[in-house]
Amino acid sequence: MPFLVGFGLLLLVLLYGVQVWTRKTLKKHAVNRADLPSVGGEFAQQLLFQLDLPHVTVESVPQWQDHYDSDSKSVRLSDSNLAGRSLTALVVAAHEVGHAIQDKENYKPLRARQVLHQRGKKIEYAGSVILLTGGMAVSMLQNPLLLRGLALLVLPCMAFRVVTSFLSLPLELDASFKRALPLLRNHLSRADMTEARKILAACAMTYVANAASNLFNLWRWAALLFVRRFRF
């Protein structure tokens, strides 16, 4: 039992520590600078044109939701990165363009994540139905055995999310350091390149935080099977 508690605390420290460091790093370099070549959206479009990817569009999304959509062939940047002339904006744009390059090259880990994402939608839907119906039953009957049974049913759904999030890490590292970094060398000074590496590391760490979050949720449900008086 002490192992489970210690493991959960370790995950919490990792989760919040990574989130704080990542947002601090990105915010530090989010200041607009007149000496940088362009705003993030224009920079992404410029890179896409140079890479012979004119069919890939650049779109806006809410804050902290920057990503590349391989289905619609869209680089999606938050408003601060789309319209910002900051080092963070340029680096994030290059990172997402890195995913567009992976898509163009039919990068196998990207294809694998697409398949997992499609299957994950069905699994997450099933998990939501189980949680809703099972949660209502547990609330009405107040039966500990029923609660553990619910945990046993939810565990595979949580485990799938953990596997998917950890498999995303190599994909993100490739987009950052193999794809984006060479693109940035032609547009940034040596000093800015040093900071760009830190920003790319921060981008990758967001996926570490996501993996830690999913692992923590898995731990919570697993604890229901082993700890009698575990509370959320």
Rounded mean pLDDT, 180-189:
95
Q: Which residue has the tokens 């921060």?
A: 202
pTM: 0.81
The answer to whether position 181 is within a domain reads yes
Answer whether 41's CB lies under 8 Å from 95's CB.
no
pLDDT at 219 over 80: no
Asked if the structure places residue 232 within a domain, the reply is no
Q: Is 202 exposed, middle or buried (0-12, 13-18, 19+ CB in 10 A)?
A: buried
Judge whether 162 lies within some domain. yes
Count of the separate structural domains present in the chain: 1
Is 40 among the domain residues? yes
Domain span at 127: 2-225
Position 150 in a domain: yes
pLDDT digits 0-9 by tens, 113-171: 888 877 766 666 666 666 666 656 556 656 666 666 666 777 777 788 888 888 889 99
* In a domain? residue 231: no
Inside any domain, residue 113? yes
Highest-pLDDT range among 74-78, 128-132, 201-205: 74-78
Nearest-angstrom CA–CA distance, 150 and 135: 8
Query: Which structure tokens are listed for 22?
Result: 């990542």
**Please, what is the angle between helix 190-226 and helix 144-173, to 10°?**
160
Q: How sure is the predictor about 39, in pLDDT bands with cuts at 50, 70 and 90?
A: very high
Q: Is residue 93 within 8 Å of 112, Cβ to Cβ?
A: no
